[in-house]
Structures are given as structure tokens and as C-alpha cells.
């Protein structure tokens, strides 16, 4: 049976992956920055600190067959680093290269790397992104993810390590942080949302679907050397997503019409143009490659993924009220 090493095991995706692997009977070694939030493991927990070019992996890699590398420096709001790209490269490029070379030296068979669909570009337009498109990383984070992919391909060529790269769009689900959690807060607050005029399409992926895809890529021999875009089975516009989430919360969506050109002007005045562009634009991916080559199908529909997410969010809100 394959023995997994999961980096970033106490993060949002890592916790779900470790739990699912445990349920399926796989031994799991976890590496974490700190001990906080780690789950039960049949393989052990190793605290490695910040991932970078000097991280020591040897003990964690003993008897491991599969590495799933989730740990990364992610988007940082109001990043105060004097050179953000340098910091992203240290963690996401040099850190990934260090782990992959250590894994190859230890005889690891398969290395699954969680990249980002943002490597393809900030917006897809009406034509969905595919794995064959020329990459267009657009910020320090996505540049570092693309460079890490390139480094892994080089290491695979040098060492024979089986590398599989997954590029998910926005990931949501119970315990989700970041933009999706902020959207839930906005809907819950009852504030009017001036987004009803948007006519875009967005690909998302429920964390349970992403975890299932990761495990498929870790175990299927046909995945070796491949790059895959993944998503839920249905794309949705931003207004429709808000309507669905509000309905699950048993709240009115409070979508109001606001001319898109005025939204762009307001965003420009607030210095938020890139954020608005990503919200208003279409970002769709074509996941037919993983469906055809691996026979993978997302086990959760968009509707069921949103339902599980809102059930978690409502429990979270009740707990907050109960402690006040």
C-alpha cells in the first residue's frame, strides 16, 4: 500500500486530504509549519517550519512512496515584503525544488504538485483554459507556481521522478479561508451587492472533489508526467453563485444593478482594479483531459458542494453567537 507524505497538512486542503486518506486506509506522514490544527496520522507528524531552499525533509520521507506537495506561500493581503516575488520564489520554487530532489534521492515514486489555474492567466474570456494553452502567470504568486512547475519537469527529466501537476481554480468547502469566506460574509451581512449586471462564467472546485482528484493522480500510473486542470462539473456566473449561496442560507441575495463601467471607476479609485477584474471576468477551465485519460469524475456536484459548505458556515456562525 502507498505511504503518503502530505506537506501543508494542517492547511485547508491538507486537513481534508489527510482525513480522506485515513478513511481510505492509507498511512500518511504529515509535515506542517507548526503543530496547530494537525489531524490524526498513522505515519507521524513532522514540524519543518517555513518551506524553503534549506528545509530538511529526510526523516519525513522515510518509506514514503507518494509526496503530495500542498505547502506554499499563498496570496498575501497588503503584502509588506520589500520584494514579494523573491519571497514567493524562495518558498514556492526553491522550496519545491528542494523537496522534489530530496524525494527523488529517497526513492519516492510519485510527486503530486498543487499548482494553480492562475498559471494560465487572470481571465479566460469565453474560451475555457486548457493544459495546451501558453501560460500567462500574472502576479508574483502565479509566476512562482509556473516556475515551480518548470523546475519539477526538469527534475523529473534528470531523476525519473513521476511528477503530476494539478491546476485548480478557486477551491471552496468547509473551513475555506480567503475570498470565498469573505463572499459568504458579505451575503450573510445583508449588504446590497452591486453585481447583478455581471454576465460571466466561473469554474470552481469543491475541496472534496480536489482531494479525490489528488488521490487519483497519486495512484494512477497513467498520470505520470501529466498536468491537469480540474473543476466541479458545472460553471456558474458570479450573480448565480450568490443567489445559490443566499438560498442555502435562507437569505435574500440582495443583488442590485450597478453599471459595470461605474464599478470599474469605483475600483480604480480604491486601487482594487485587479480584484474587480477577477470578480467580473470569466475564468473557466476545461477538465476534459483528466476525465478522458484517468476516467476521473468529480464525486460531488456543485450543488452538493455548496450545500456542505453552507452547512459548515451556519454551524460556524451559531458557534460564534453561542460564545458571545
Per the CB < 8 A criterion, the answer to whether 96 and 155 are in contact is no
CA–CA distance, 97 with 6 (Å, rounded to integer): 16
- Express each pLDDT in 28-82 by its tens digit: 999 998 765 444 455 689 998 889 999 999 999 999 999 999 999 986 645 556 7
Determine the 3-state secondary structure of 244 from DSSP: helix
Of 12-16, 208-212, 218-222, 319-323, the range with the lowest mean pLDDT is 319-323
Average pLDDT, whole number, for the chain?
91
CA–CA distance, 289 with 286 (Å, rounded to integer): 8
For residue 258, what pLDDT is reported?
A: 84
| Bigger pLDDT: 50 vs 307 | 307
Per the CB < 8 A criterion, the answer to whether 124 and 282 are in contact is yes
For residue 317, what pLDDT is reported?
A: 86
Domains and CATH numbers, the chain: 4-173+204-233+284-299 (3.40.50.720)
Active site residues: 141
Residue bearing cell 469565453: 126
For residue 67, what pLDDT is reported?
A: 98
Determine the 3-state secondary structure of 162 from DSSP: strand
CB atoms within 10 A of CB 248: 19
User: Above pLDDT 70, what percent of the chain?
Assistant: 92
User: Above pLDDT 90, what percent of the chain?
Assistant: 75
**pLDDT band, residue 310 (cuts 50/70/90):** very high
What is the Cα Rg of the chain in Å?
Answer: 20
Mean pLDDT confidence for 89-101: 97
Q: How many residues does the chain have?
A: 324
- Express each pLDDT in 192-248 by its tens digit: 999 898 889 999 999 999 999 999 999 999 999 999 999 999 999 999 999 999 999
Which alpha helices (H) appear in the chain, and where do they start and end? 12-23, 84-88, 95-105, 140-159, 178-189, 207-219, 238-249, 260-269, 273-280, 288-294, 302-323
**174: pLDDT strictly greater than 90:** yes
**270: pLDDT strictly greater than 90:** no
| Structural element, H or E, at residue 31 | strand 28-32
| Bigger pLDDT: 7 vs 75 | 7
Predicted TM-score (pTM) of this structure: 0.93
Mean pLDDT confidence for 4-9: 96
Residue 174: partners with Cβ closer than 8 Å, 6 or more residues away: 16, 207, 308, 309, 311, 312
| Bigger pLDDT: 45 vs 168 | 168
CA atoms within 13 A on the CB side of 8: 23
For residue 39, what pLDDT is reported?
A: 47
Per the CB < 8 A criterion, the answer to whether 267 and 275 are in contact is yes
Determine the 3-state secondary structure of 129 from DSSP: strand
**pLDDT band, residue 261 (cuts 50/70/90):** confident
CA–CA distance, 296 with 76 (Å, rounded to integer): 32
Determine the 3-state secondary structure of 28 from DSSP: strand
CA–CA distance, 173 with 303 (Å, rounded to integer): 12
**178: pLDDT strictly greater than 60:** yes
Amino acid at each position: 500500500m502507498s505511504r503518503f507524505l502530505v506537506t501543508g497538512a494542517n492547511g485547508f486542503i491538507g486537513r481534508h486530504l489527510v482525513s480522506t486518506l485515513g478513511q481510505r486506509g492509507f498511512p500518511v506522514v504529515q509535515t506542517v509549519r507548526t503543530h496547530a490544527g494537525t489531524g490524526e496520522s498513522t505515519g507521524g507528524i513532522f514540524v519543518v517550519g517555513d518551506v524553503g531552499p534549506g528545509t530538511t525533509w529526510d526523516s519525513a520521507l522515510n518509506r514514503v512512496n507518494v509526496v503530495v506537495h500542498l505547502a506554499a506561500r499563498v496570496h498575501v493581503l497588503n503584502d509588506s515584503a520589500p520584494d514579494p516575488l523573491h519571497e514567493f520564489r524562495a518558498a514556492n520554487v526553491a522550496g519545491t525544488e528542494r523537496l522534489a530532489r530530496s524525494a527523488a534521492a529517497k526513492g519516492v515514486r510519485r510527486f503530486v504538485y498543487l499548482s494553480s489555474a492562475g498559471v494560465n492567466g487572470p481571465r479566460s474570456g469565453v474560451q475555457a483554459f486548457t493544459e495546451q494553452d501558453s501560460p500567462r502567470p500574472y502576479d508574483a504568486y502565479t509566476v512562482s507556481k509556473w516556475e515551480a512547475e518548470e523546475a519539477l519537469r526538469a527534475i523529473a527529466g534528470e531523476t525519473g521522478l513521476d511528477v503530476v501537476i494539478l491546476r485548480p481554480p478557486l477551491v471552496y468547502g468547509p473551513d475555506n479561508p480567503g475570498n470565498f469566506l469573505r463572499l459568504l460574509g458579505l451575503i450573510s451581512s445583508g449588504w446590497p451587492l452591486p453585481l447583478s449586471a455581471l454576465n460571466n462564467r466561473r469554474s470552481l472546485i469543491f475541496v472534496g472533489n480536489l482531494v479525490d482528484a489528488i488521490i487519483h493522480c497519486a495512484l494512477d500510473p497513467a498520470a505520470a508526467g501529466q498536468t491537469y486542470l480540474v473543476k466541479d462539473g458545472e460553471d456558474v456566473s458570479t450573480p448565480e453563485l450568490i443567489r445559490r449561496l443566499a438560498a442555502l442560507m435562507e437569505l435574500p441575495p440582495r443583488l442590485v444593478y450597478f453599471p459595470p463601467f461605474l464599478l470599474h471607476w469605483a475600483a480604480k479609485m480604491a486601487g482594487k482594479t485587479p480584484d474587480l477584474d477577477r470578480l467580473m471576468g470569466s475564468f473557466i477551465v476545461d477538465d476534459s483531459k483528466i476525465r478522458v485519460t484517468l476516467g476521473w469524475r468529480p464525486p460531488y456536484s456543485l450543488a452538493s458542494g455548496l450545500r456542505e459548505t453552507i452547512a459548515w458556515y451556519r454551524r460556524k456562525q451559531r458557534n460564534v453567537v453561542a460564545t458571545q
